[in-house]
Amino acid sequence: MNILLTGATGYIGKRLLPILAEENHTIYCLVRDKDRFNPPSSLRSKIVVIEGDLLKAQSLNQLPKQLDYAYYLVHSMSSSDDYDDLEEKSALNFKNAIDNTNIHQVIYLSGMTNEDKLSKHLQSRRKVEEVLSSGLFALTTLRAGIIIGSGSASFEIIRDLVEKLPLMVAPKWLKTKCQPIGIRDVLIILKKTLANKNTFNKNFDIAGSDILSYKEMLLVFAKMRGLKRRILIVPVLTPRLSSYWLYFVTSTSYKLARSLVESMKIEVVARNAEINEILNHKPVGYQDALQRTFEKINNNEIVSSWKDSYASSGFDLDINDFIEAPNHGCFKDKRTRKYTLKEKTIKKVWQLGGRNGWYYANWMWKLRGYLDKLVGGVGLRRGRTHPTKLTAGDALDFWRVLYADEKSGKLLLYAEMKLPGEAWLEFEIKDNKLVQTATFRPLGILGRLYWYSVLPLHGIIFRGMIKRIAA
């Protein structure tokens, strides 16, 4: 079968791709940026990459006519304040383009929208479903609530809250009921729904076997981690204060925190388990989903993370616009140092950030992260998805990986922190030396004042960092 996969670089898409490829399907991956799409080499023979933007209808004209099925896994939540309009436009362009192919079925992964009063986020999901349902194909909508899995936004937020706060003074929406589902079960359902005529032109709620409040989910997580936690629920936290609370404690962006808080006030409990009977699959409960997730994390088997989405930085970004550090009108801090062993030096560069830190004056990096959070930036809490692997598009603390070639030892990072300008950090192996270059393109006088004010600190941090890496 010929299958179109949208959102192939996203949290779900990255995990679904190898599952579909195992069935010997031909997978057409629609991606906005080919440079950010790095599938395993073992899958490349089964993949056809199509570069297109769902917000630009003309870019979809190259979709092949011989498509049989498609997955719609695209979401724009928190990428901008008008994400609902963007999602509707994307769905409409997709529907119009797909109507010109031989497509039989489109599978859309949505959110649970059973309540009459919905958040902006869930209203947007429902609107997308309405747009897709007007197409000339059979639509299957799978509505999920909280998804538990290594790297999922829900899991990472729960982990941040439980592991960082012995005592939580929390808003009243922690009493809201939900029905979480494990990522493995989501993928199984997505796979089994494909070409299943019993699911055509229908929508289903997909959920695990447990109905819990968010408070209960936090306490169960704490118990499984062997942590004693107390949660005090107060009625005085407004949605805005709740959003700031979630933003400062967890690794989420403020826009995403605001969207999540609005949705967490809505009960997301499945209407029935009809889909389980149709597919002959029963999803596991919350504790089993957590246990699976812990095992993946312990084995460094995190395939994808929500943090690698550009939405995690709170703004949209075209990676091609920043793929090279500029020279004109820029300040640079360039340092070179002879290394002892090339392979070891490259390995150290590829392990920068996350729990490993930045090799020198880590307290300064953490302070910079806290200050970034205070002004609405991403801070350092995003960490990294994998402890040793980096690919273009990955989030790395408050940086974004633009280019990563481990064989040659070249790594280029772009700063997603709040700055009066733009910043790059580059590492390169050249002439038996490690070359480390920090580039800053200031925005007006404020940008220039910023550069000169932090110049003494850069001298300390960058000198120490390259010395440790090359040692």
* Pick from 20-29, 141-150, 167-176, 201-210: least confident: 167-176
Averaged pLDDT for residues 112-127: 84
For all residues of the chain together, what is the average pLDDT? 87
pLDDT tier for residue 446 given thresholds of 50, 70 and 90 = very high
- Number of Cβ within a 10 Å radius of residue 260: 23
* Pick from 117-131, 209-223, 291-305, 318-332: least confident: 318-332
Q: Would you say residue 331 has pLDDT above 90?
A: yes
Please enumerate in sequence order all residues whose Cβ is within 8 A of that of 87, keeping only pairs 6 or more positions apart, or say none.
74, 75, 76, 77, 124, 125, 127, 128
First-to-last alpha carbon distance for the chain, in angstroms, is: 53
pLDDT at 347: 95
Q: Would you say residue 335 has pLDDT above 90?
A: yes
CA torsion sign, 466 to 467 to 468 to 471?
A: positive
pLDDT at 385: 83
Contact 84, 130 (CB under 8 A): no
pLDDT at 197: 96
337-392 residue pLDDT tens: 999 899 999 999 999 998 889 999 999 999 998 888 888 788 887 788 888 888 88
pLDDT at 322: 52
pLDDT tier for residue 96 given thresholds of 50, 70 and 90 = very high
* Pick from 85-94, 114-123, 145-154: least confident: 114-123
Q: Are strands 26-31 and 2-6 parallel, antiparallel or unpaired?
A: parallel
The Cα–Cα gap between 361 and 368 comes to: 11
User: Residue type at 447?
Assistant: G
Nearest to 354 by CA among 379, 389, 383: 383
User: Which residue(s) pair with 409 in the sheet?
Assistant: none
**Could you give the count of Cα atoms lying within 13 Å of 252 in the half-sphere of its Cβ?**
29
pLDDT at 323: 59
pLDDT at 309: 65
* Pick from 228-232, 234-238, 246-250, 322-326: least confident: 322-326
Q: Tell me the three state secondary structure of residue 371.
A: helix
Please enumerate in sequence order all residues whose Cβ is within 8 A of that of 3, keeping only pairs 6 or more positions apart, or say none.
20, 25, 26, 27, 28, 67, 68, 69, 70, 71, 194
211-233 residue pLDDT tens: 999 999 999 999 999 999 999 88
Helix extents (H) in 203-341: 214-224, 239-249, 254-264, 274-279, 286-298
pLDDT at 76: 64
408-442 residue pLDDT tens: 999 999 998 889 999 999 999 998 899 999 999 99
Q: In this structure, what token pair is assigned to residue 101?
A: 């192919």
Please enumerate in sequence order all residues whose Cβ is within 8 A of that of 255, keeping only pairs 6 or more positions apart, or say none.
78, 79, 80, 81, 311, 314
Q: In this structure, what token pair is assigned to residue 245?
A: 């609370």
Please give the residue that has the higher pLDDT: either 348 or 160.
348
The proportion of the chain whose per-residue pLDDT surpasses 70, expressed as a percent, equals 94
* Pick from 158-167, 177-186, 374-383: least confident: 374-383
pLDDT at 317: 53
Nearest to 462 by CA among 373, 332, 370: 332
Averaged pLDDT for residues 35-44: 79
* Pick from 15-19, 78-82, 227-231: least confident: 78-82
Q: What does DSSP assign to residue 437?
A: E
Q: Tell me the three state secondary structure of residue 54.
A: coil
Phi, psi of 185 (to 5 degrees): -70, -35
Q: Tell me the three state secondary structure of residue 376.
A: coil
Chain centroid offset of residue 403 CA: 18
pLDDT at 35: 74
Give per-residue burial for 156-185: e unless 16+ CB within 10 Å, then b.
bbbbbbbeebeebebbebbebebbbbbbbb
The Cα–Cα gap between 297 and 301 comes to: 6
- Number of Cβ within a 10 Å radius of residue 330: 16
User: Residue type at 205?
Assistant: D
